Chain A
Amino acid sequence: MSGFYSSRGVRKLVFEVILRRKANAFTQHSKFSTSSLLDNTLTQFKESVYQFAKENIAPHAATIDSTNSFPKGVNLWRLMGDFHLHGITAPEEFGGMGLGYLYHCVAMEEISRASGSVGLSYGAHSNLCINQLVRNGNSVQKEKYLPKLISGEHVGALAMSEPNSGSDVVSMKCKADRVEGGYILNGNKMWCTNGPTANTLIIYAKTNVNAGSKGITAFIIEKGMKGFNTAQKLDKLGMRGSDTCELVFENCFVPEENVLGEEGKGVYVMMSGLDLERLVLAAGPVGLMQASLDTVLPYVRQREQFGTPIGEFQLIQGKLADMYASLQASRSFVYAVASQCDGGYVDRKDCAATILFTSENATKVALQAIQCLGGNGYINEYPTGRLLRDAKLYEIGAGTCEIRRMLIGRELYKSG
């Protein structure tokens, strides 16, 4: 890589000095260290994504929330694609990074820290869609769909829930009838993140309505397929701008090469996908908790009452401590389970436990953040209200906390 030539005129080495820079005020509170959990490369990556998100995503966070849509003047999907964020767990031959879940969780955390809505949409695109294709797609499907999803030219989504099948997802009614050359889909899907804009969607439907969980098949749907439509964008409490909608299938023909995995084996694709979905999404609340502290710390140093910065009062310091401990514990748990998964061991109850733990912590931390800001925390000009509204989603999506508890308890009871 280095060129050693003899004459100075031909060889031009460009030499440069980097002087040591002491830590200064504005980077200090960005370096909460759980650095023993991450090696040097991961720490560099985390810092890099933090800078990228701070400069390119964070400035839009408030408008994304108030307008309930992604910014018009800039293509965030492409920007994130150019930064190699979408295909972290995808093979390099399709433009991915060929890395593991720890890297993906770190990216998810930093994007979510900048904007909860962008984080959620990013998670749905890069894990629910892209990673599911990576894990279950055949080479033709991967070749066809992954490159554009990874570059950010296309947006991905996944839909399993229906208006009447949320927690009881196996009771889904969306039908896929076998016909010559493929299937005809009829039914609805609900609460589909990225639904309104997605080009590629993974959909679960019943190829055998009488076979319960064994009758589910996973399909790859393309925007524009005849009979596939998206209905109204949903008006949500939080995660506004992370477009969510209902999907409608009316005699939608899907060719047989678009079956993901095997007919009737969709439940395996779905349930194993859910484990990793829960793990990666669990990093979302971690980012929100970090964002809460990012807002609260400067505020309590500056806001004075009774002639003193409120950060000097013990009750405020108590809140800071609780927020910090929750953040660090949540982050450590996510990183530890992600490392475990990267090592080849995916434990269903650990994955469910991460998002159970981080999501409930994030809601509590966001509430404390509002409280620390007092009256200002109640004003929408400050981000704390949005942080709370965004955090709440994580107690519901990817399996409600109730389902997560049931699942973990059941697994422990069976084989603890």
Chain B
Amino acid sequence: MSMNPFCEIALEEALRVKESGAASEVVIVSMGNEKCTEVLRTGLAMGADRGIHVATERPLYPLAVAKLLQALVRKEEPGLLLLGKQAIDDDCNQTGQMVAGFLNWPQGTFASKVKVDKSENCVHVEREIDGGLESLRLQLPAVITTDLRLNQPRYATLPNIMKAKKKPIAKVTPEELQVEITEDFDILEVVEPDKRKAGVMLSSVDELLDKLKNEAHVL
């Protein structure tokens, strides 16, 4: 199993924040079955300090993940929560926003630039939005979700892979965190969007006006 690419970017940013002196520890979390430990080992090999595996065989959707994260945040009290903007299997793009809502923390999503200002206890985030770039100043603690152009994740080099073997991965269950995972919805069906119908070739502007008026009803 491999790490979600946006999460790799989030981890890389976390490591850079720590290397800049603004943070003392990078803790990584993964939720699911045993295979999560592989992903955590990769993260530790990149340079994270310790890992937490929330062990469950149940399928996890963003709402459940956000609740579990809220519980972990209450326990660990981090100053900054970094997530990938979305997972590439379901492309939900919800978890970061939901957990910020639960915690009532400020959020900077689709971050393409992150700069922590320790003296002001805030973080400056530049976000990629449809209209261009938006600059935000968030009071810490805050939630940031990362976008593609934020950074280029580092390789896990052999010395770090060897060091990672000694780093701890703590295991915890949703029950221990007092979070109930409910399956809030059923997937009834998954369909492809309707195929685009072929366009119609018109012979004159009159014909176009006629169609716009009488068929499309936009005039």
A11-B77, A19-B31, A21-B2 provided; 15 other pairs, C-beta below 8 A? A1-B25, A11-B79, A13-B24, A13-B77, A14-B78, A15-B72, A15-B73, A15-B80, A17-B69, A19-B7, A19-B89, A20-B39, A21-B4, A22-B89, A99-B158
Q: What band does the interface of chain B fall in when counting residues whose beta carbon is under 8 Å from A?
A: 35 or more
User: Is A40 interfacial (CB 8 A cutoff)?
Assistant: yes
B1-58 interface (Cβ within 8 A of A): 1-5, 7, 10-11, 14, 17-18, 22-32, 35-36, 38-43, 45, 48-50
Q: Mark A20-49, 1 if CB is under 8 A from B, else 0.
A: 111110010000000000001100110110
A411 and B88 alpha carbons, distance in the complex (Å): 56
Contact A11–B65 (Cβ < 8 Å)? no
Quote the shortest CB–CB distance from B77 to chain A (angstroms). 6
Contact A18–B11 (Cβ < 8 Å)? yes
Contact of A44 among B41, B82, B141 (CB under 8 A): B41
User: Looking at the complex, which of B126-134, B159-167, B178-186 is the stretch in contact with chain A?
Assistant: B159-167
Quote the shortest CB–CB distance from A92 to chain B (angstroms). 9
Q: Contacts A8-B79, A18-B7, A21-B3 known; A48 to B65 CB distance under 8 Å?
A: no
Contact A12–B80 (Cβ < 8 Å)? yes
Contact B26–A16 (Cβ < 8 Å)? yes
Q: List 13 A-B contacts (CB under 8 A).
A: A5-B24, A11-B79, A13-B26, A13-B76, A14-B25, A17-B81, A19-B84, A20-B31, A21-B2, A21-B89, A23-B2, A44-B42, A84-B159
A44 and B157 alpha carbons, distance in the complex (Å): 10
User: Is A308 interfacial (CB 8 A cutoff)?
Assistant: no
Contact A14–B80 (Cβ < 8 Å)? yes
Interface SS of chain B: mixed
A331 and B2 alpha carbons, distance in the complex (Å): 23
Contact of B4 among A19, A51, A83 (CB under 8 A): A19
Contact A16–B10 (Cβ < 8 Å)? yes
A51 and B11 alpha carbons, distance in the complex (Å): 18
Contact A14–B2 (Cβ < 8 Å)? no
A21 and B140 alpha carbons, distance in the complex (Å): 29
- What B residues does A2 contact at CB under 8 A? 24-25, 27, 49-50
A43-68 interface (Cβ within 8 A of B): 44-45, 47-48, 51-52
A85-140 interface (Cβ within 8 A of B): 85, 88, 97, 99, 103
Quote the shortest CB–CB distance from B210 to chain A (angstroms). 43
- Top-5 shortest CB links A-B: A12-B79, A15-B78, A13-B78, A3-B24, A19-B87
- What B residues does A85 contact at CB under 8 A? 158
- What B residues does A24 contact at CB under 8 A? 88-89
Of B41, B48, B157, most A-chain CB atoms within 10 Å: B157
Give the residue name and chain of the B residue nearest to A55 (CB).
B155
Q: Contacts A14-B82, A16-B7 known; A3 to B25 CB distance under 8 Å?
A: yes
Contact B79–A84 (Cβ < 8 Å)? no
- What A residues does B10 contact at CB under 8 A? 16-18
- What A residues does B76 contact at CB under 8 A? 13, 15
